[in-house]
Amino acid sequence: MTMVRESGPGTPDEGLLGEAPVAQAISPDEASAIAAEVRELISEGREQLALERLRALHPADIGLILAGLPGASREAILRVMSPETVAWVLRQLNPLDAGRVGARLGVNALSFALNQVHPQQALALLLRLPRRSARVLAGRLDAPLPEAEILEHPPDTAGALMVADYPTVASDDTAAAARASIAELWEDRRKYTHVFVLGAQGRPVGQIAMVDLALAEDETPVAGISEPIVAAVTVETEAQECARLRRHYNLTQLPVVDDRGHLIGVILAEALLSALVEQDTRQMLRVATVAGETADGPLALSVRTRLPWLTVNLATTFLAAATIGLFESTLAQAVVLAAFLPVVAGQGGIGGTQTLTLIVRAIALGELVGITARRLLVREAILGVLHGVWLGLLVAAVAILWKQNLGLGLVLGLAMLGNMIIAGSIGAAVPLFLRRIGVDPAVASAVVVTTFTDVFGFLLFLGIARAAISLIV
């Protein structure tokens, strides 16, 4: 395989890992096996050998394995790893992984590594870490960082995603000037897909795709190869909106402008993608109210994230308990009803969650443009009828065969039909309503919907049972 390396600001400094070229991809199973080997070697005190084993890997895999090591083993191998190598590994990771790996390496290892690299490279690295750690680290460096104020932007904004290093060319210049601008980048130039074209006022008036620049003669005027910019954002624009613009308009990088429309930064594809992955999977974590956690993060964070919601949910189960409490005399008359309490409510909960997940996702992906709320509501209510008829017949049949109680079967079937219709309607209505009043539907929908399906499930089942108690006992 042809492997030619250049050194200089625009290319990663692979030389720091000795003569190791960028390695081939391996499977997660292979990575796990190597991680086990490395752990074994470190526990035997053979850190140098463990380091050799890692050196053969792609930096993305080195980072993943470092992050997965138990704390003591990680510190042992970091002691024998050169700080340049640590910095190099982090710079090769996508921002999502870099943030995760960086958080596990700790402030000491990171600031030691950052002090060994060029300030521009240190800044590029800090921009991959969670904003708070980045600011702490920036304060610990020997040399002041250029443009360190970029770290001050709040997380989840365009300002926190952008880099301040980007190629530009004047609109009345030529392709040669655009090329010269690329050669001056400090970040890895392969991360850029466009050169921005600046007008007389320093405002971006277009962009040149790298492929168009590759085909242009040096003397080609910029005007001959530039294309319009579809979207620009400000530092305050939310990361979620940046991710939406990227996906919807198929963009590869987004210019960031100030109040006067002057270019002040660019969000690269890798940052947009990390924001997108974050957004999409966080959506899923939000539904389960565990957003912000990782599977092996600090316990205190997990407790802080989950316990409030568990407590809120406890309140809603007490609402359900109070609903059942209304029918204590009915239950005393026919204690067989108690066994079927979870059936109607539980099915409603599942049906409601199916609907709301679909709607929450469609909202997140921006798929609901031009589709009226009424259309969605009617659709889900119809599905509720269809599911309710089938599940109602089934549950009635089982109850009749199992308990030899026709009345019980009828009551269960009717309650099931009613609750599935409620589940579908509420499952669609809640996220649409929350979005309208400006609450993130992913966070609050699940608890609201299951509270409805629980309470209505018990009300319907026990209410119908009370009315038809003579058929049951």
264 vs 65, 196, 205, 241, CA distance in Å? 36, 11, 14, 18
- Counting Cα atoms < 13 Å in the Cβ hemisphere of 100 gives 22
Of positions 8, 18, 21, 45, contacts a copy of itself by CB under 8 A = 21
Of positions 227, 236, 258, 436, contacts a copy of itself by CB under 8 A = 227
Of positions 287, 430, 434, 460, contacts a copy of itself by CB under 8 A = 287
* Closest distance of CB 471 from a copy of itself, Å: 19
Q: Which is nearer to a copy of itself, 162 or 343 (CB)?
A: 343
Q: Is there binding between residue 41 and a copy of itself (CB under 8 A)?
A: no
**DSSP per-residue letters across 347-386:** HHHHHHHHHHHHHHHHHHTTTTTT--HHHHHHHHHHHHHH
Q: Which is nearer to a copy of itself, 152 or 227 (CB)?
A: 227
Q: Is there binding between residue 139 and a copy of itself (CB under 8 A)?
A: no
Q: Is there binding between residue 304 and a copy of itself (CB under 8 A)?
A: no
The answer to whether 158 and 233 are in contact (CB under 8 A) is yes
Of positions 123, 127, 245, 459, contacts a copy of itself by CB under 8 A = 245
Q: Which is nearer to a copy of itself, 82 or 94 (CB)?
A: 94
- 175 burial (CB, 10 Å; 0-12 / 13-18 / 19+) is buried
The interface with a copy of itself within residues 328-367 (CB under 8 A) comprises 328, 331-332, 335-336, 338-343, 345-347, 350-351, 353-354, 356-359, 361-362, 364-367
Q: Which two tokens stand for residue 113?
A: 């590594």
- 256 burial (CB, 10 Å; 0-12 / 13-18 / 19+) is buried
Q: Is there binding between residue 215 and a copy of itself (CB under 8 A)?
A: yes
Q: Which two tokens stand for residue 85?
A: 């190598």
Of positions 16, 32, 133, 469, contacts a copy of itself by CB under 8 A = 32
N-term to C-term CA, the chain: 81
* Closest distance of CB 129 from a copy of itself, Å: 16
Strands 263-267, 194-198: pairing is: unpaired
What is the distance between the alpha carbons of residues 28 and 392, in angstroms, rounded to a whole number? 45
Q: Is there binding between residue 144 and a copy of itself (CB under 8 A)?
A: no
The interface with a copy of itself within residues 385-424 (CB under 8 A) comprises 386-387, 390-391, 394-395, 398
The interface with a copy of itself within residues 165-204 (CB under 8 A) comprises 171, 178-179, 182-183, 189-190, 192-193, 197
261 vs 201, 264, 403, 466, 467, CA distance in Å? 9, 9, 74, 69, 69
> What value does the CA radius of gyration of the chain take, rounded to a whole number of Å?
29
Of positions 41, 68, 418, 463, contacts a copy of itself by CB under 8 A = 68
Q: Is there binding between residue 99 and a copy of itself (CB under 8 A)?
A: no
